[in-house]
Structure 1
Amino acid sequence: MQQLEIFQIESPCIGVCQAGPRGYCLGCYRSREERLHWVKLEDEVKSKIVKACALRKKRAFARKRSQDPLSVDTPTQGSLLD
């Protein structure tokens, strides 16, 4: 049984609004069509889009990490003497 959404699904926009090489926003990972029609969509569709965006983001970071393992979220330790 699926849980009913009680609250309105908020837009995942973080204000970056720049398309990447695959056509998805580099901030929220929505397609142009998903961004354009967001306000008109049913909450069930919005929920599916948000889940798809999370998967797209995960895949994008995995691709980037596989290309350059040191470029993504790798903290660097500074010297105590600097």
Structure 2
Amino acid sequence: MATDPAVVPYLKAVFNGPVGMTLDSFLAPLRVFPQFANDGHGGEVVFGIIGIVTVLVAGSMWRKRKLQGDAHSATAV
């Protein structure tokens, strides 16, 4: 999603401005350097993390529903 040609201009507009500078200055003391400002790849890192969290949340919800369905089937028999 972060490399989609339709999304890249919006990412650059957001992360090359004050948001990117603030994130860079906040993460510098922590020695985390994804470089948001100045055409860095921090936006790709953010969207990668969002994708990971989305997959984990969806998987846990799917697993919970599956387990509840199996438990309901076992009690119905």
TM more than 0.5: no
- Greater fraction helix: 2
**TM-score normalized by structure 1?**
0.41
Structure number with bigger Rg: 2
